[in-house]
A and B are shown apart, each in its own frame.
Chain A
Amino acid sequence: MSETVIETRNLSKEYRDFWGKRKVLALDDLNLDVYRGEVFGYLGPNGSGKTTSVKLLLGLLFPTSGWAKVLGEPPGSVSANQRIGFLPEESYLYRFLNAEETLDFYGRLFKIPTRERRKRIDRLIELVGLEHARKRQLKEYSKGMARRIGLAQALINDPEVIFLDEPTTGLDPIGTREIKDLIVSLKEEGKTVFMCSHLLADVEDVCDRIAMLFLGRLEVIGNVSDLLTEKGVVSFRAENVKPETADRIQQALEADGSYMGTEKVSRSLEDLFMKVVREKSGAAADPEATAKAAEAALVAKTAGDDESVRSQEQESQG
């Protein structure tokens, strides 16, 4: 197994009010391992604790209990930040700077020498396709362009681990395709990508593994291909099929020894996502029922599957 680059143990985060009273438990006992070189999808409906987890991993928030490590270092430490890149949910950049100035500013924070910085700026602007707008202030950028420059700043230090929060939001289909291709090429370069997204099709396309969060708890984690395969179901596909032909196929199937091309039928990631959320929402009022429903859903989903898909034991306490 390759090296763990992101590791959390019993990571929890409570938000408290001014008087120290608990407002919400945003993240509950998160145990996560992300390995070097994989593209990891982090999913969950709004308010599930995704952003809280990412902020904890980036050192923007401090955990109430438990711990996290990024590249073996505490989150937010200089040594960890040297080797990571982060594209926030929206491109929160200085709008009065142009693309070059933006990248130059972030490059300076890494103390990249001027000459090298210029080279990287040119390369990244080209990579994200903003050559035509490199001297324009970001306030004049469209949402898609802002995403692109945001992505470029996340890559200015040639990071080992890249956190992408909704990387394709606001992009047109071509832009989305380009970003997805870029993520794949980053993976090919051996980089680890930790990606939060609501766009499930994107996650399905590029992620090796995914984790799903609901109400601050990790519900599902596993390989995308394993999670999405319906075991024991095979579909046939043919065109212009006459009924008698279908019968013959039926008979032929029953007869033994003949070969047919078959295809495993996958449900979409969206189906899986909705199923988990619906089940959880229905049972959310009763923590015990939530746990049971989750377990049942997972058992149903993963029946006969391999060990790479494991259900998260849901404890009702905490």
Chain B
Amino acid sequence: MQKPPSADEALLSRLLERVSHASACILAVASITFKDGLRKKALFTITLFAVLVIVSGFLPWVRADFRIQQLTRVSLGGMAFFAMVVAIFLAAPNIPDDISRKTIFTVMTKPARRWHMLAGKVLGLGYILAIMLVMMGTLTYAHIRYLDYRMGLDEGELPRLQGHKRTYAAEVEHEGRSLQLSEPIIESGRALASGFERITYHFRGLDRRQFRGETAFCQVVLFNHAFSYVDDVGTALFLARNPSTGAVVTEIFGAETLQPRFIAFPKAMIDANGDVSITLITRHDMGSYSAMASSAAVLSQPSLYVINFVKGLALLFMQGMVLVFIATAASTFLTSTVSVITALFVYFTGSLTGIIRDQALALGTEESIFTMAEHTHGTPEMATGVTRSMQMGVDYLLRYFYLGISIAFPNLPAFSPTDRMATSEYISLGALWGGLSYGLVYAAIAFGVAWAVFQRKEVA
């Protein structure tokens, strides 16, 4: 005789049944939402995007090296824009349309729970965003690859399309900066001199396990104070030294202001403790009084650019989905037009939350009073006594008001991979999961609001 199921087994089977029923309903609603999106020609945006990418090919050639950076900015910016527009303009009217067309009657009288309907709608829009971003991403990637092929690569640009893992040393030390100038020549009443600047960075405690290949990279950025408007800084010498063995490798490279250069050096230059010394010797042309400034970061084995690109796409997708959730939540209690406006408001405010937070944190401090008094009254002395107390009070109120806003609105730039991608910055897994989790938190809050409202909504 078969044993009757225990209470736990019965509970488990009921739970499984619920999950399977929920997924059936959610997937069914998602497929309808997806078809509706297709019907509304949402994917036509891909054509517009293609035109954008092609047009960007006709933008003036700033410099060959900027080409990829420029294309990355335009493409990723375009993708973020189209994802925003599609997310908001499809999500906001989704539920109001169903109510006004009364198609909701036939769905809600079926055994789908109301949250199944919400989740299905969001998922269906997720399909559309995913297809859109994958197609746009493929287009962009193909274009970048083509440019890369057409322009050719030199050794110093090796990691340009490869992304890289930044492994900052646990500790970086400067070993003084020295400037060796030639005898000055007096010309037209000005003293001119040329010479060399030397700066050494000691990287300590690099994690050698991350350097899987035989090569490591150093990202060097040079900046000439005197001729900041001149892109070409000139030639420089790169020197990597193993502090334990004293072994040295050198390389001469051409550098441009603020353009990261990637210089490969043997992994053997990093000693067993994970220490390596990098010295940069930059040549000053005649007349360059001001010192060069430089920075260096040691990078481990480059990873594939495409992986970085896919991570960037995932962040863009999450940004789009956060907007879908917010627009859907708004549409449960607002009309579709007002929902669109609300979601756009969230989008624009969300784009500023970083700035708002920084401003808020500066408010209510002595420094801000000083600055404000200086700006408004001309002299800091005016900001005394009652005026000062009032200002402090108002500033404190504003501080928490702005802080509240910066917390309430999603910090959308946190999802935006555009800058990072354009400067070949590696999107670490930590940054990716951080961005995705941050998005999930907002999505969950928006879904909670949508569910709470929609659950008690009367459909007349």
User: With the chains together, A24 CA to B275 CA distance in Å?
Assistant: 81
Decide if A299 is an interface residue (CB 8 Å cutoff): no
Does the CB pair B456–A109 fall under 8 Å? Answer: no
Decide if B3 is an interface residue (CB 8 Å cutoff): no
Does the CB pair B106–A92 fall under 8 Å? Answer: yes
Closest Cβ of chain B to A24, distance in Å, is 12
User: With the chains together, A42 CA to B59 CA distance in Å?
Assistant: 70
Does the CB pair A55–B35 fall under 8 Å? Answer: no
Interface string of A59-94 (1 = CB under 8 A from B): 111100000000000001011011010101010111
Decide if B39 is an interface residue (CB 8 Å cutoff): yes
Which of A79, A81, A88, A94 counts the most B-chain CB atoms under 10 A from its CB?
A94
Does the CB pair A58–B103 fall under 8 Å? Answer: no
Interface string of B110-130 (1 = CB under 8 A from A): 111100000000000000000
Does the CB pair A96–B105 fall under 8 Å? Answer: no
Chain A residues with Cβ below 8 Å from B286 are none
Closest Cβ of chain B to A313, distance in Å, is 29
Decide if A32 is an interface residue (CB 8 Å cutoff): no
Does the CB pair A92–B103 fall under 8 Å? Answer: yes
Size class of the contact patch on chain B = 20 to 34
Select one of B25, B110, B113, B459 contacting A55, CB under 8 A: B459
Interface string of B375-393 (1 = CB under 8 A from A): 0000000000000000000
Interface residue ranges of B446-460 to A (CB < 8 Å): 456, 458-460
Decide if A108 is an interface residue (CB 8 Å cutoff): yes
Select one of A62, A90, A109, A111 contacting B107, CB under 8 A: A109
Decide if A290 is an interface residue (CB 8 Å cutoff): no
Decide if A106 is an interface residue (CB 8 Å cutoff): yes
Decide if A110 is an interface residue (CB 8 Å cutoff): yes
Does the CB pair B460–A106 fall under 8 Å? Answer: no
Which of A62, A90, A110, A157 counts the most B-chain CB atoms under 10 A from its CB?
A110
Decide if B138 is an interface residue (CB 8 Å cutoff): no
Decide if A284 is an interface residue (CB 8 Å cutoff): no
Does the CB pair A97–B110 fall under 8 Å? Answer: no
Does the CB pair B106–A108 fall under 8 Å? Answer: no
User: With the chains together, A93 CA to B107 CA distance in Å?
Assistant: 9
User: With the chains together, A192 CA to B36 CA distance in Å?
Assistant: 35
Chain A residues with Cβ below 8 Å from B101 are 92
Chain A residues with Cβ below 8 Å from B20 are 111
Interface size on A, residues (CB 8 A): 30
Decide if B16 is an interface residue (CB 8 Å cutoff): no
Closest Cβ of chain A to B104, distance in Å, is 8
Interface string of B1-44 (1 = CB under 8 A from A): 00000000000000000001100110111011001100100000
Closest Cβ of chain A to B22, distance in Å, is 10
Asked if A61 meets B458 with Cβ closer than 8 Å, knowing A105-B28, A111-B21, the reply is yes
Decide if A153 is an interface residue (CB 8 Å cutoff): yes
Does the CB pair B32–A78 fall under 8 Å? Answer: no
Chain A residues with Cβ below 8 Å from B290 are none
Select one of A60, A76, A92, A96 contacting B460, CB under 8 A: A60
Chain B residues with Cβ below 8 Å from A96 are 35-36, 39
Asked if A93 meets B103 with Cβ closer than 8 Å, knowing A60-B458, A111-B24, the reply is yes
Does the CB pair B106–A88 fall under 8 Å? Answer: yes
Decide if B109 is an interface residue (CB 8 Å cutoff): yes
Select one of B28, B35, B103, B458 contacting A108, CB under 8 A: B28
Tell me if B's interface is mostly helix, strand, loop or mixed: helix
User: With the chains together, A61 CA to B99 CA distance in Å?
Assistant: 13
Does the CB pair A108–B27 fall under 8 Å? Answer: yes
Interface residue ranges of A88-131 to B (CB < 8 Å): 88, 90, 92-94, 96-97, 105-106, 108-111
Decide if B145 is an interface residue (CB 8 Å cutoff): no
Does the CB pair B106–A110 fall under 8 Å? Answer: no
User: With the chains together, A124 CA to B393 CA distance in Å?
Assistant: 72
Asked if A86 meets B105 with Cβ closer than 8 Å, knowing A78-B113, A105-B32, the reply is yes
Chain B residues with Cβ below 8 Å from A97 are 32, 35
Chain B residues with Cβ below 8 Å from A110 are 110-111
Decide if B102 is an interface residue (CB 8 Å cutoff): yes
User: With the chains together, A193 CA to B186 CA distance in Å?
Assistant: 107
Interface residue ranges of B284-314 to A (CB < 8 Å): none
Decide if B170 is an interface residue (CB 8 Å cutoff): no
Asked if A106 meets B39 with Cβ closer than 8 Å, knowing A60-B459, A62-B458, A111-B24, the reply is no
Chain B residues with Cβ below 8 Å from A58 are 105, 108-109
Asked if A78 meets B111 with Cβ closer than 8 Å, knowing A88-B105, A92-B103, the reply is yes
- Nearest B residue to A81 via CB reads B111
- Nearest A residue to B40 via CB reads A96
Chain B residues with Cβ below 8 Å from A84 are 109
A-B residue pairs in contact (CB < 8 Å), sample of 28: A60-B105, A60-B109, A60-B459, A60-B460, A62-B456, A81-B109, A81-B110, A82-B111, A86-B105, A92-B101, A92-B102, A92-B103, A92-B106, A94-B35, A97-B32, A105-B32, A106-B106, A108-B25, A108-B27, A109-B29, A109-B107, A109-B110, A110-B110, A110-B111, A111-B24, A111-B25, A150-B106, A157-B110
Q: Given contact pairs A81-B110, A92-B102, enumerate 20 new A-B contacts (beta carbons under 8 Å).
A: A55-B460, A60-B105, A60-B109, A60-B458, A60-B460, A76-B109, A78-B21, A78-B113, A81-B111, A82-B111, A86-B105, A86-B109, A92-B104, A94-B35, A106-B106, A109-B25, A109-B28, A109-B111, A110-B111, A150-B106
Can you list the 9 inter-chain pairs with the closest CB atoms, starting with the nearest?
Answer: A108-B28, A92-B102, A109-B110, A86-B109, A81-B111, A111-B24, A78-B111, A60-B459, A96-B39
Point out residues on B near A: beta carbons under 8 Å: 20-21, 24-25, 27-29, 31-32, 35-36, 39, 101-113, 456, 458-460
